[in-house]
């Protein structure tokens, strides 16, 4: 029988959760899971490979072990667990890049959350107020951060991508354009699941420059706030609108609308905030958007109103085997 915790213990647990997060972030930065990929290592050897202080590293590993991340062996070595294995850098479905982008000191999301008080007080992104520029401007000036961001989107696509690709029958669309599609991870998943389709990847020049070559899709570089010179049967915006304010979204959506033929469809792939007081990760991602950008997560009604202002009508909402849904729109 599970033991019910008190309200005080519940609050204390929330307050100290960031200690665990710091440990996970450092483990990713030190690439400890990769060092353990071939089997257990003594703490002294792991410290040597990670250039750390062995007694201090042991204390961190002991704490992480209590959360299921890493495990000690009978002889005092440490090995990976299913959870720590997710921190391996090049493992399919890895969380390594997302952790690096989020939890390590100096990482964009880590820095942005220091600005939560400013965001709540002023209504402006906390990151911008701390650094005097937006996160997007910061990443454009920091190729390493942008590269890790793209890797994080790739790794998320390894789990979310197949769920989106299998949620609807994409084969009814001959050409699928992924607008703001990064390095093409989601588009590649859709095309792989639907062999008779072709794709177009559209994003900023320095972003698509990192996209792996794929004979199934063409690459078009551009800025979706300027114009979208792409003709397709279906247009995909996955995790794009939540980065931007309503006014900015309407601007880019009208550019999509201008590019579309009457029978083309627009697929918005986002989390939808439910009503009620229950826990939902979308509510916390919304807070992340508040500190990191001008964007937000939205309810179904907010999506419908936003897209209506840009010239679209909601046709259906298709669930996926992930936290995201596919909202299907047609030109009004």
Distance CA 174, CA 198 (A): 6
18, 22, 131, 242: which one is catalytic? 242
User: Are the C-beta atoms of residues 275 and 299 closer than 8 Å to each other?
Assistant: yes
Distance CA 227, CA 62 (A): 53
C-alpha dist (Å) from residue 16 to 69, 227, 287, 291: 17, 46, 19, 21
Q: Which of 233, 174, 229 is nearest to 198 (CA)?
A: 174
Query: Catalytic: 194?
Result: no
Residue 234 exposed, middle or buried by CB count within 10 Å (0-12, 13-18, 19+)? buried
C-alpha dist (Å) from residue 51 to 41, 87, 90, 154: 14, 18, 21, 29
Partners of residue 272 on adjacent β-strands: 298
Distance CA 236, CA 164 (A): 11
**Residues with catalytic function:** 242
């Amino acid at each position: 029988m599970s033991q019910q915790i008190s309200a005080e213990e519940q609050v204390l647990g929330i307050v100290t959760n960031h200690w665990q997060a710091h440990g996970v972030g450092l483990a990713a930065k030190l690439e400890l899971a990769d060092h353990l990929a071939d089997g257990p290592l003594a703490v002294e050897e792991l410290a040597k490979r990670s250039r750390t202080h062995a007694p201090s590293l042991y204390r961190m590993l002991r704490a992480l072990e209590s959360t299921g991340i890493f495990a000690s062996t009978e002889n005092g070595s440490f090995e990976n667990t299913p959870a720590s294995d997710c921190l391996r850098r090049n493992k399919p479905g890895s969380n390594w890049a997302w952790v690096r982008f989020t939890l390590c000191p100096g990482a964009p999301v880590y820095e942005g959350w220091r600005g939560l008080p400013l965001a709540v007080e002023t209504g402006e992104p906390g990151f911008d107020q701390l650094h005097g520029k937006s996160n997007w401007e910061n990443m454009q000036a920091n190729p390493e951060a942008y590269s890790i961001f793209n890797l994080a989107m790739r790794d998320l696509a390894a789990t979310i991508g197949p769920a989106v690709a299998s949620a609807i029958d994409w084969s009814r669309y001959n050409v699928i354009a992924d607008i703001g599609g990064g390095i093409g991870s989601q588009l590649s998943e859709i095309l792989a699941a639907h062999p008779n389709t072709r794709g177009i990847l559209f994003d900023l020049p320095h972003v698509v420059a990192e996209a792996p070559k794929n004979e199934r899709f063409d690459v078009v570089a551009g800025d979706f706030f300027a114009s979208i010179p792409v003709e397709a049967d279906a247009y995909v915006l996955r995790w794009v609108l939540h980065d931007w304010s309503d006014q900015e979204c309407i601007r880019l959506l009208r550019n999509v609308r201008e590019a579309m033929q009457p029978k083309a469809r627009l697929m918005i792939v986002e989390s939808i905030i439910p009503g009620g007081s229950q826990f939902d990760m979308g509510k916390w991602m919304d807070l992340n958007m508040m500190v990191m950008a001008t964007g937000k997560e939205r309810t179904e009604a907010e999506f419908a109103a936003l897209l209506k202002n840009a010239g679209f009508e909601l046709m259906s909402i298709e669930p996926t085997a992930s936290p995201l849904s596919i909202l299907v729109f047609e030109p009004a």
